Each structure stands twice: as C-alpha cells, then as structure tokens.
Copies of this chain bind each other. A is one copy, B any other.
C-alpha cells in the first residue's frame, strides 16, 4: 500500500446504509400492486424495467421511481388505479429523505486515515441526492471531494484517475460491490479492498469468486486499519 496517494470510498452500503431502503420501497411497491400479481413476479418485472432503463435514466432514486411507474403501468395492463400513482411518487420522496445511517467502523477508519491520504467519495446515483447524503453524514470534512459518476466502468475510473492526476497504482478503492468498486479498478492496475454488505442489488452481483494480487478481502471496514495503520 506504500504507493497509494488517493483512497476512493464507495458511498452506498460502504459508508452508509442504502440498499435496504430500496428493498423496503420494493416491498411497499409490491403491496400496492398485490391485486394484480404476486410480489415475486412484480419484482422480476421491475428488475427487467430498471435494467432496460439504466442506459437512459442512469442510477439513482429518480430513475428508480420512473421505473416503478412504468412497471406499474405494465403490470396493471394499462388500467392502473389512480390510487397507486401518488403512493409511488411518495415512495421516491421518502427515499430522498431517508436518514443517513453510518455503517459500523466508518467514522473510526476515516478519522485514522485522515491526513495520511487524499480521500474521495466515488459513487453512482443522483448528483443532488449523493451530495445531500454526504452532507447529512457529517463525513464531508474527511473528503477532498465527492465524485458522482454516471457509471463505474473502467473508462469512468480512468477519467477519475486523470482528473486526480495520479497513476493507477497510486489509487486504492474501497467498496462493497465487486462489479462496480473492485473489478474495474483492478483491471486498470489499481488496488482494491472489498468489504461486503449483507444486501446487494441483483444487477450488481458477481457470481465467480474474484482473486487478484492487488485485492484484499475483508469482513468489516474497521479491518482496513490492520492493512493501513492509523495515526494513533
């Protein structure tokens, strides 16, 4: 880790709780449509709709709500009861106002690494929403800036590295998603630490086991301090 100059932290489900809020919204959505279809099938159609719309809407709550609406229209065979529309819009507004709950150990790790590295938040999602969450989190001062990315593929990380004016081996990414936080960074020649979260969106799943000399797999974010000693 000696060469590392910048540490990128994924935000959702790495720094704070996110995916469970979406799961909760999906459960409510399925209840709204229970007259039309069982929850399992509703979720299947929703996932397909979300993936179909990703290229157009990108990641984040607003695109999610638009996909909920589209799914509802489809499931109800275009006879959507008006009583369902407002509750769907409300689901989105609730999501946008959820409390930001830090994950265990996050505050300690950032505190200990503070000043030793340039640290950035590297996240997908809606710009305003991610800025709101960072602000609410109270973690803002630890980070040089927040980089909201429209996607987290290799070319997106390459742009980030150019922007940060560093070489890949000087970059360490810490995150919960093998697909978005780990694999593209390793492929570019960067370093990565994977800290799993108990809930992962299906579209982010990676089936095969990943092993790589520049990858460290931990169970909790606090174990980062066993790899990179803190200040104290």
CB distance from A40 to the nearest CB of B (A): 24
- Which residues of chain A from 185 to 211 have any CB-CB distance to chain B below 8 Å in the complex? none
Q: Is B80 within 8 A of A85, CB to CB?
A: yes
Q: What's the interface size class on A, roughly?
A: 35 or more
A66 lies within 8 A of B80 (CB): no
Residues 101-141 of chain A, each 1 if its beta carbon lies under 8 Å from chain B, else 0:
00000000000000000000000001111010000000000
Q: Are A78 and B89 in contact (CB under 8 A)?
A: no
Flag whether A219 is at the interface (Cβ < 8 A).
no
A-B residue pairs, 4 tightest by C-beta: A58-B128, A62-B62, A128-B150, A80-B82
Distance to closest chain B CB from A33 (angstroms): 13
List B contacts of A96 (CB < 8 A): 56-57
Q: Which residue of B lies closest to A64 (CB)?
A: B62
A82 and B89 in contact, given A62-B62, A62-B63, A127-B58 (Cβ under 8 angstroms): no
Q: Given contacts A63-B62, A131-B150, are A85 and B73 in contact (CB under 8 A)?
A: yes
Determine if A73 and B86 form an interchain contact, defined as CB atoms under 8 angstroms apart: yes
The CA of A58 and the CA of B163, in the complex, are separated in Å by: 25
**Nearest-Cβ distance from residue A61 to partner chain B, whole angstroms:** 9
Select from chain B the residue with minimum beta-carbon distance to A78.
B82
Residue numbers of A with Cβ under 8 A of B are 56-58, 60, 62-63, 65-66, 69-70, 73, 76, 78-80, 82-83, 85-86, 89, 92-93, 96-97, 126-129, 131, 145, 148-151, 163
- Bound: A63/B128 CA distance, A: 11
Output the least CB separation between A149 and chain B (Å).
Answer: 8
Given contacts A126-B58, A127-B148, A131-B150, A85 and B69 within 8 Å (CB-CB)? yes
Asked whether, in the complex, the Cβ of A163 is within 8 Å of the Cβ of B145, the reply is yes
Alpha-carbon distance between A58 and B62 when the two chains are bound, in angstroms: 10
Residue of B at shortest CB range from A129? B58
Task: Choose from B58, B70, B163 the contact partner of A89 (Cβ within 8 Å).
Answer: B70
**5 residue pairs bridging A and B, Cβ less than 8 Å apart:** A56-B93, A69-B89, A70-B89, A126-B126, A127-B127
Q: How distant is the Cα of A56 from the Cα of B127 in the complex, in angstroms?
A: 11
Task: For A150, list chain B residues within 8 Å (CB).
Answer: 127-128, 131
Chain B residues whose C-beta falls within 8 Å of the C-beta of A65 in the assembled complex: 66
